[in-house]
Amino acid sequence: MAVSVTASPSYPNVTYTHILYSVSSTNSGNPQYQFVLDVKQGGERLARLKQYPNPNAIGIFDVSRILADYIDYDENWKTSTAASPVQSVQEFDILFGEEYGTSISSSTTLYDGNGGVGNPAVNPGTAEVFGGTVDPNNGSSFNWQAQAVLSNRPSRGLSISYDEYETISLYLTSSATVTVDYNPGSPSIYSLSPGFYSIPVGSQNIGIPDAFTEIAVGIGATTILDYTLATQCNYDRVRFAFINKFGFWDYYGFNLPVKRTTSTQRNSITKPMVNYSGVVAGYNEQRRGKDLYNVQYNDEFSVTTPFLDQAESEWLAELFESPSVFLQEGDDFLPIVITNGSYTHNTNKRSQKTFQYEINYQYANNRIGR
């Protein structure tokens, strides 16, 4: 074999890291030599990269940003059954070949990497990726380390109301039974094969009566999440849905007042009080001199969370960095933009005995001006 893949990443993997391949070739000494990489999906070529050998006659490719361009987020907040991802987890073929000529001035020929002429064909395996992140300072690897619960949310102390949607995303490496147990009520039981899933948890998802006070989510005999019924109060409940560091949906809601401020932008025009276009330029006290047009409204909302412990605050920090945030209002999810320019982490109990976040946001679609 002319082209050999000497190092490749593990899969499944995230796109916001370095997805690195190292390749070598017995032909790398030929004139005008370049390694060639194709990214394909379903037989369609999405990208082609070429690279000259480095001083060690090796080609090193990072395909993370290319794959990230094709990953999106499944808006499956309302799923009523265990849902497999469609856009948020995808598979790609990474194919290697080579290109070289017979002299430094000749035309070049594309080879498949196996010794024949043609498109790259050396395939080290399917690349299954999703839109999560890996901390480069983890001291271990660029690769994602697999875990079952695709969230950093605390396993205890979660709250949910009867009228709220909620899902939990899981990655199963083997077949398993996932149980969502409503107390009081009947459990939802899902027998699942290996793979990625979004499991419905909220009573709105599956349409059960408003009767439970607790929800327990388990994989096999192990409980992974506990919910309690949210305390009812006079304030409207604020409910966020946001993409977490794994690239899947997390939810956070609480009952505290929301502050709303509106700023306006206006253009003005000054017209003469005398009507020079009329038949008679008489006095008219109702004729405007200064008038406004192209009035735009910008609504800014601010809400302060309840007091948070360190685990809650570190998880909720992902809301500020999330690429996609929605607000549940009634049965609808409305897109919003978090506008905080910075935020402070909860790092110690000595100087931060009580800790809260102030969340500032705007609707992604402003009100239409007049």
The helix (run of H) or strand (run of E) holding residue 264 is strand 258-270
pLDDT confidence of residue 145: 93
Backbone angles phi, psi at 128, to 5 degrees: -105, 120
Distance CA 238, CA 159 (A): 12
Distance CA 119, CA 3 (A): 13
pLDDT confidence of residue 362: 95
Distance CA 202, CA 215 (A): 9
pLDDT confidence of residue 196: 97
Question: What is the SS3 assignment for 132?
Answer: strand
**Tokens in use for 213?**
């006070």
**pLDDT (tens digit, 9 = 90+) per residue, 255-264?**
889 999 998 8
Distance CA 360, CA 339 (A): 5
CA 178 distance to own-chain centroid: 24
**pLDDT (tens digit, 9 = 90+) per residue, 273-291?**
888 787 887 778 788 888 8
- Of 214, 240, 218, 229, nearest to 315 (Cα)? 240
pLDDT confidence of residue 284: 80
Mention every residue, 6+ apart, whose C-beta is less than 8 A from residue 148: 170, 171, 172, 173, 219, 224
**pLDDT (tens digit, 9 = 90+) per residue, 52-78?**
999 999 999 999 999 999 999 999 999
Distance CA 71, CA 140 (A): 25
Q: What is the DSSP letter of 27?
A: T
Distance CA 86, CA 131 (A): 12
| Dihedral, CA of residue 59, residue 60, residue 63 and residue 65, to nearest 10 | -120
Helix (H), strand (E), coil (C) string for 165-192 = CCEEEEEECCCEEEEEEEECCCCEEEEE
Q: What is the DSSP letter of 248?
A: S
Backbone angles phi, psi at 71, to 5 degrees: -100, 135
Buried-state track 148-176, b at ≥16 Cβ within 10 A, e below 16: ebbbbbbeeebbbbeebbbbbbbbbeeeb
| Dihedral, CA of residue 44, residue 46, residue 51 and residue 57, to nearest 10 | -50
- Of 133, 154, 152, nearest to 144 (Cα)? 133
Which residue type, as a one-letter code, is found at position 96? F
pLDDT confidence of residue 1: 57
Distance CA 247, CA 227 (A): 22
Mention every residue, 6+ apart, whose C-beta is less than 8 A from residue 6: 22, 23, 24, 58
Maximum alpha-carbon separation in the chain: 95
Question: What is the SS3 assignment for 201?
Answer: coil
pLDDT per residue as tens, the chain (370 positions)? 589 999 999 999 999 999 999 999 999 999 999 999 999 999 999 999 999 999 999 999 999 999 999 999 999 999 999 999 999 999 999 999 999 999 999 999 999 999 999 999 999 999 999 999 999 998 889 999 999 999 999 998 889 999 999 999 999 999 999 999 999 989 999 999 999 999 999 999 998 888 899 999 999 999 999 999 988 887 888 999 999 999 999 999 998 899 999 988 888 888 888 887 878 877 787 888 888 888 888 899 999 999 998 889 999 999 999 999 999 999 999 999 999 999 988 887 776 777 899 999 999 998 887 7
What are the DSSP calls for 281-298, one per residue?
A: ----TT--SEEEEEEEEE
Order of strands across the sheet that contains 176-183:
158-160, 222-229, 214-219, 176-183, 188-192
Alpha helices in the chain (DSSP H): 64-68, 203-206, 310-321
**Tokens in use for 226?**
């506990």
